[in-house]
Amino acid sequence: MSENHPIAPHGGTLVDLLADEAKASALAGEAANLPKIVPNERELSDLEMLAVGALSPLTGFQGEADYHSVLDSMHLTNGLAWAIPVVLGVDEAQAHQLGGGGSVALLPTEGAAPIAVLRVTGAFKRDKAKEAVAVYRTDDEAHPGVKAVYDSGEYCLAGDLEVISLPAHDDFQSYRMTPGETRAEFTRRGWKTVVGFQTRNPIHRAHEYIQKCALEIVDGLLVHPLMGATKSDDVPPDVRMQCYEALFEGYYPKDRAMVSIFPAAMRYAGPREAIWHAICRKNYGCTHFIVGRDHAGVGTYYGTYDAQKIFEEFEEGELGITTLNFEHSFWCESCEGMASPKTCPHGEETRISLSGTKVREMLRNGERPPQEFSRPEVADILIAAMQGEG
Ligand SMILES: [Zn+2]
């Protein structure tokens, strides 16, 4: 990372758990003879995030004290803000067998070569009901985040990680930048202030507008699409990437905006996930972070502005990244431009606003939404993808 970058990583040090070549080779040799665990998709994503420092200052899967501290108070035991536990689930037998200490090899899939060694510091029983209510504000198993908690092991294995290699990806190689790399890129571009935008959806005019409003007050924009696990009904990553590329090609200044991948798995934890997303983006070098309505929400579990309000529960400056709260935006015929309820005095009848359901229906029928809603290039990609689905 650059020494002169204006924003420090969370906790002050950018973590890098990836071993150098010699060390990786020694770890691989050691791992061959260790007990082995295959983490689930979400945990593998967390492993990658930990390895590259996206979850700085964490250096491994959290132990019981931090787990409860995060659930109870949104802080680590050392007092640092932290919103969502990062844990490795195991079953009871594994917890008894491995929890006493020693090391465990982590494998991306059954029978694959180990990608990391966990130096075990302990095991503990996961309080799923408490975790669900604290993080997701519900214990309803219809909530995808809650379901993931209940589907995982009854125990957690804690300890520091030493990483042999990152989980392999066969897509988007040129977009996969570590926090160290995005920081270096920001410096290279001369950006002192950078706003991060989290998304797991194609970008329509409303979000383009929000990003550009934010860009007006900072040096650069990082569109940082989450490409880890999402719900099966979210738009697939390759389709989303095509949309981002078309949008950047046609409508974004190349020296002021960039796209890179956020390898996190989606939790759908709404407010708590907004905090988590902001802290991660600080680690990637962003000084500002956009929080829209219903950030990281799903269904009707969270209030429209909960994800913006939760930031007020922290001390001034505690999170170290500035959040920019945005309203729902739309094209207004009378304003003759993009606007929001904050800036447009006109009524609903002059605003071009479509429900997600309506947009999906239009796209499925091969119909472009109005260009005031969606850029035609983006609409065409989505239409092609939806028709390909049959
Ligand atoms: Zn208006």
User: pLDDT tens digit string along 140-188?
Assistant: 999 999 999 999 999 999 999 999 999 999 899 999 999 999 999 999 9
Separation of CA 54 and ligand 1 centre (Å): 40
Place of tokens 């219903």: 294
Separation of CA 340 and ligand 1 centre (Å): 8
By the CB criterion, residues less than 5 angstroms from ion ligand 1 are: 332, 334-335, 344, 346
Q: How confident is the model at residue 234 (pLDDT cuts 50, 70, 90)?
A: confident
Separation of CA 328 and ligand 1 centre (Å): 13
pLDDT > 70: percent of the chain:
98
Q: What pLDDT is recorded for position 3?
A: 47
DSSP 3-state assignment of 183?
Answer: helix
Separation of CA 337 and ligand 1 centre (Å): 8
Are 216 and 345 in contact by the 8 Å Cβ rule? The answer is: no
- pLDDT reading at 189 higher than 50: yes
- pLDDT reading at 316 higher than 70: yes
- pLDDT reading at 390 higher than 60: no
> CA nearest 99: which of 34, 158, 35?
158
What's the pLDDT tens digit per position in 278-296?
A: 999 999 999 999 999 999 9
Separation of CA 199 and ligand 1 centre (Å): 26
- pLDDT reading at 89 higher than 70: yes
Separation of CA 329 and ligand 1 centre (Å): 11
Separation of CA 372 and ligand 1 centre (Å): 13
Residue 257 to residue 176: CA distance in whole angstroms: 16
Q: Are strands 288-291 and 60-61 parallel, antiparallel or unpaired?
A: unpaired
Q: What pLDDT is recorded for position 266?
A: 92
Separation of CA 333 and ligand 1 centre (Å): 6
Which residues are the active-site residues? 200-201
Q: What pLDDT is recorded for position 84?
A: 98
Mean pLDDT, residues 84-105: 96
* Both tokens assigned to 39: 């983490």
Separation of CA 354 and ligand 1 centre (Å): 16
pTM to 2 decimal places: 0.95
Mean pLDDT, residues 201-216: 96
Q: What pLDDT is recorded for position 207?
A: 96
Q: How confident is the model at residue 2 (pLDDT cuts 50, 70, 90)?
A: very low
> CA nearest 134: which of 192, 52, 67?
67
Mean pLDDT, residues 117-129: 98
DSSP 3-state assignment of 367?
Answer: coil
- pLDDT reading at 352 higher than 60: yes
Please write down the long-range contacts of 179-182, taking CB distance under 8 Å and 24 or more positions apart: 179/1, 179/9, 179/14, 179/52, 179/53, 179/54, 179/56, 179/283, 179/284, 179/285, 180/1, 180/14, 180/16, 180/52, 180/53, 182/222, 182/260, 182/284, 182/285
- pLDDT reading at 303 higher than 90: yes
Mean pLDDT of the residues in the chain: 95
Q: What pLDDT is recorded for position 241?
A: 95
Residue 107 to residue 118: CA distance in whole angstroms: 11
Separation of CA 222 and ligand 1 centre (Å): 29
Mean pLDDT, residues 67-83: 98
